[in-house]
Amino acid sequence: MVTKPARPKRDFYKEPTRLIRETFKRLSKNTTGKDYVVSDIHGCFTQLEQALELLKFDPTKDRLIAVGDLIDRGDESFRAIEFLQKEWFHSVMGNHEWSLAFGRGFSHPREKWYVEKRGTQIAEDLVSAIMWLPVAIEIETDNGLVVVVHAEVRPTYGHWNEVKEYLASHDNQAQLDYSFLLTGRSRIRKQAMQPERIVEGVDLVISGHSGVKSPTLLGNSLFIDTGIVFGVKKVDDEFAALTIFDVGSKECYMFSLSGEQIVLNAVTMPCEEKAGL
């Protein structure tokens, strides 16, 4: 199997300025298979594998794009290294990746999974992998450009090109610490004027970060984080699910836990949400 070339290692703890080398990543049109976008994984890679098997995902021609937050909370966070080496797997940077790679060296004081390994080779390999993740992924499709960002595109930005200009003016990760692309929730919490405002220049913007009970569409912004990790951790067994969005058909596949196994419990089209969540 062909693996992605290793990134050069850098002493990121000592670097005063940590540059974003791949602010954007653009995927050309997939002419042989399907493109899917998966919700926040949070270390639940076994459940992801089970869902992909049920979906009959074909790694020789299909692609999977993650909305970020591959790590934290779940027990298999270090498996992010394994998946980021797969040619068919792509991910944007989530706020949990940012915090680990460019914050204080760990995502949250309670995340012992990393603290206990800090200074070891596997911990260094994880940071080396996630610090290169792009902030946004553009996917070429028959219906136009589909954009994946972790949190949101604020409705104050009427066109995708305005967001790209914003990113171009912020050339290091420190400046993106509280960027709306990584942490924003103004649309989903209805804190902004016109939360359903369309982002021109793209067919769809797909995000995670904000927990929803089912895939939620605001204008052309789709939120799909249905919180699978809370089911795995037995925090919320009733609503927790892993959502995988088919970019071509625009269907949302929701997988929930039945005991220790993932089952497909719904296939839906995202519905536009205009009332309070």
Whether the CB-CB separation of 223 and 215 falls below 8 Å is answered with: yes
pLDDT for 108 equals 55
The domain segmentation of the chain, as residue ranges, is 24-272
Is residue 42 classed exposed, middle or buried when 0-12, 13-18 and 19+ CB atoms within 10 A define those classes?
buried
Q: Which two tokens stand for residue 50?
A: 């089970």
Considering just the CA atoms, what is the radius of gyration of the chain in Å? 18
Whole-angstrom Cα distance, residue 119 to residue 108?
A: 16
- Taking the domain 24-272, which CATH number applies? 3.60.21.10
Q: What is the pLDDT along the chain (277 residues), one digit of tens a residue?
A: 445 544 444 333 333 334 445 678 999 999 999 999 999 999 999 999 999 999 999 999 999 999 999 999 888 999 999 999 999 999 999 999 988 887 654 455 556 777 778 788 998 899 889 988 999 999 999 989 999 999 999 998 989 999 888 877 765 554 555 478 999 999 998 866 788 999 999 999 999 999 999 999 999 999 999 999 998 888 766 779 999 999 999 999 999 988 788 899 888 876 555 433 3
Question: Whole-model pTM?
Answer: 0.87
232 CB-near residues (< 8 Å, 6+ apart): 44, 47, 74, 75, 240, 257
**pLDDT recorded at residue 82:** 97
